[in-house]
Amino acid sequence: MKKDFDKALFFVIDILNKEKINYFVFGSSSLKIRELIKIIKDIDIVISYKNLKQLDKAISKSKDITFNTKDYNYKIGGLLSFNVFGTEIEVMAFKSNSEDKLALSVLKDSKLRETIIYKKKKVILVKLGMLLKMYRYIYLLRGEKKHLKRIGFLEKLTKKGYTLPKTFFF
């Protein structure tokens, strides 16, 4: 099946909205929605752990999905990974005692998220500055220091109020 990023994204967002589940899109998928990059591997979404079973039940009704992982005891809290319309979706569900305080703070504080109209639909994304902080945290945690210069450069640009050009590749 051919990858259909938009169809997959809207499929999940429609369910999240219907179920009234607080979420945000992050990672490379949030950069693609902002038109800063063109190619991505998957769609990354964060929700609260308390909503994981509710989302699992709602998406399980669809014939269009294939589950890769259902893990309610994943190291962060929970993980649902599935394919829909040729696109891998990873929904990470954080517990309140999770190590990832950044993701939890974005879920709790709407000022750290922004709503963007993407192809006539509302999509909630992590704000770019916060996304860069999340990347910095992940790269430091994994010991991937080679990416930190790039993140630092982008952080400086966004602090100065510079808007990254569309299709900015990094």
Q: Mean pLDDT across the stretch 149-168?
A: 64
pLDDT of residue 170: 44
Residue ranges of domains in the chain: 5-128
pLDDT tens digit sequence for 100-155: 788 888 989 999 999 999 999 999 999 988 888 888 887 887 787 777 777 777 77
Q: What CATH number should be reported for the domain whose range is 5-128?
A: 3.30.460.40
- Return all residues near 55 (Cβ < 8 A) that are at least 6 apart: 15, 16, 19, 21, 47, 80, 91, 93
Structure tokens at 114: 């922004």
pLDDT tens digit sequence for 76-99: 568 888 999 999 999 988 876 655
pLDDT of residue 113: 95
Global confidence as pTM: 0.83
User: Cβ atoms within 10 A of the Cβ of 22, count?
Assistant: 15
